A and B are shown apart, each in its own frame.
Chain A
């Protein structure tokens, strides 16, 4: 019914024994967008992705992927989905070319176009030099490009990427994202999990997961605009002492140090937050400059993941 949604999940839940890895997750992923899953390790990102591609059966709830209910016909979906695993999962004892050929055969890619499609991918993902190299002997960045090339070979409508950049250097990460944007522009829907803020910021929309629960979702801008927090940046010569003083304020939810700068989160319902901060810094006789600033995505992440425990205390 929602043909503009590539993924629609309602109450998706996965229980492993006593552990509730994913807890009643609702998810709407529009087509042709890059949708990010942001969350610490163990927050349920991989489990959700595995449920969406049919690797794991949900304990409760339902999800429709590309118009097909996942609990029923995973086989129908396979040709439409590309999946890149967290761990490199291609065959290390086969060459780049052999891996691509194998994937092409498995997906029954039309024989006449196989060779040209593989050449195209080798070129696009900068693997021409490595095409006769064994996959196991390649660098992290090269392996990742090969994995992406294999995941998109059959031109899937939906691409599921599970922490694709966790094993590569910053330059490779930038190139990788450039590739993702190109794919999204061509109409591919991409669901990508990450624990890097800068990557999350590049997504069209994102959901923040914490302990299996979705704690926030929206575009990065929306999330930054609706943290429900004042963000105050404190510049101090002795950030350690400043941090101690700031932590003593009951209203402060979190203090994060970035070099000599501290980012302080105070709930929106507290009036005059800047004065509060300055007063306590003066009382502790810590020289510092403070100013109100806009929330970054990191602030959002801190706010939504730490809030319950901190506020309850």
Chain B
């Protein structure tokens, strides 16, 4: 009973201080909103309109048809026509174009000759996405309605499930949700205890009957509420601006988010008990946020990463959360379909909170 009232006292104090800290309060809504707008519009893996130059030395009926077909893919945007391959190289080097297409003067003959390439594709390999595109262009079937048909039928037909229109925001936002929650939750709590240590409040607090556990939980619970509010902001904005669907159950989504938020807050508290200053806390949080973005499957497909990176990724709560959100929001999965992710997040939260409470002894030495 006493313990509960002390817990409530710590929570009330946290909320009161948070409300008075205008910038922090603004960040609760500002961070998800800004990031969502920024990344929702900016991150676009669906590459179109790459600036392209063509050197058509053949200039035959066949070569012109080839160029027209290339244009129809919308991947390339033919901005320049030049005389020869050397000019293409110069433009590529200056960064004027991303792709150069050189059609040799004997193009018509090469099309039928299987031993020689008909077209040379000059690609800016310094950008991994663009060189990936080039590989796809290479496979473009050449089915000409002239007699000289050189095409072989594609063996594999790609069918895109869950995101048939290939709209990037639909892929990005469920992951972005994890990144935003990681950032705000981790930073808020990592700073929470250190700030009181720096201001001297901690010396007073640990001389009162309040226990480590009450202090930890009292600090975490208000932020769980904030995390859930942030989630609502993301979902509403995601729906209004980017038509990101929630195909599964919203209750499942909130349950998964609740666990994920708890795991991050616990990790933040643990950070808070290790560091001595707010500056150190920020550095350590950043150290955790970068892999959360890069190794979680948010940016790069998880299966494509080296095995060691996958292990690291598996250790991060966000990796499991992204699996849950993509599952629930896009594939209409339920929590029961993803028990591993759920179990990991729960275990992580419990272990990290315990570790934080153990590390935070009520002594100064």
Question: Which of A's residues lie within 8 Å of B, judged by CB?
Answer: 50, 53-57, 74-75, 78-79, 81, 83, 85, 87-94, 98, 102-103, 105-108, 150
Contact between B365 and A57 (Cβ–Cβ < 8 Å)? yes
Interface contacts (Cβ under 8 Å), in number, total: 75
Q: Which residues of B contact A92 (CB under 8 A)?
A: 199
Contact between B17 and A93 (Cβ–Cβ < 8 Å)? yes
In the bound complex, what is the Cα–Cα distance between A54 and B199 (angstroms)?
20
Contact partner of A93 among B20, B200, B203, B210, CB < 8 A? B20
Q: Count B-side interface residues using an 8 Å CB cutoff.
A: 29
Contact partner of A89 among B13, B200, B210, CB < 8 A? B200
Q: Are A90 and B201 also in contact (CB < 8 A) when A74-B362, A98-B16, A102-B13 are?
A: yes
Q: Are A89 and B203 also in contact (CB < 8 A) when A56-B363, A79-B209, A105-B9 are?
A: yes
Cβ of B364 under 8 Å from chain A: yes
Q: Which residues of A contact B110 (CB under 8 A)?
A: none
3 cross-chain pairs, A with B, having the tightest CB-CB distances, nearest first: A105-B9, A89-B204, A89-B200
In the bound complex, what is the Cα–Cα distance between A53 and B5 (angstroms)?
24
20 pairs, A vs B, C-beta closer than 8 Å: A54-B207, A54-B363, A55-B363, A55-B365, A57-B365, A78-B207, A81-B207, A83-B207, A85-B200, A89-B203, A91-B13, A91-B17, A98-B16, A105-B5, A105-B6, A105-B8, A105-B12, A106-B9, A106-B208, A108-B6
B359 CB, min distance to chain A CBs, angstroms: 16
Contact between B364 and A50 (Cβ–Cβ < 8 Å)? yes
Q: Is the interface of B mostly helix, strand, loop or mixed?
A: helix
Q: Is the interface of A mostly helix, strand, loop or mixed?
A: loop
In the bound complex, what is the Cα–Cα distance between A201 and B57 (angstroms)?
105
Question: Which of B's residues lie within 8 Å of A, judged by CB?
Answer: 2, 5-6, 8-10, 12-13, 16-17, 20-21, 199-211, 362-365
Q: Which residues of B contact A75 (CB under 8 A)?
A: 209, 211
- Name the residue of chain A whose CB is nearest to the CB of B211: A75
Beyond A54-B363, A91-B13, A91-B201, list 20 extra A-B contacts (CB 8 Å): A53-B207, A54-B362, A55-B206, A55-B207, A75-B211, A81-B207, A85-B200, A87-B200, A89-B199, A89-B201, A90-B201, A92-B199, A93-B17, A94-B13, A103-B208, A105-B5, A106-B9, A106-B209, A106-B210, A108-B6
In the bound complex, what is the Cα–Cα distance between A2 and B6 (angstroms)?
34
In the bound complex, what is the Cα–Cα distance between A101 and B16 (angstroms)?
13
Q: Are A94 and B16 also in contact (CB < 8 A) when A54-B363, A105-B6 are?
A: yes
Q: Are A107 and B363 also in contact (CB < 8 A) when A85-B200, A87-B200, A93-B17 are?
A: no
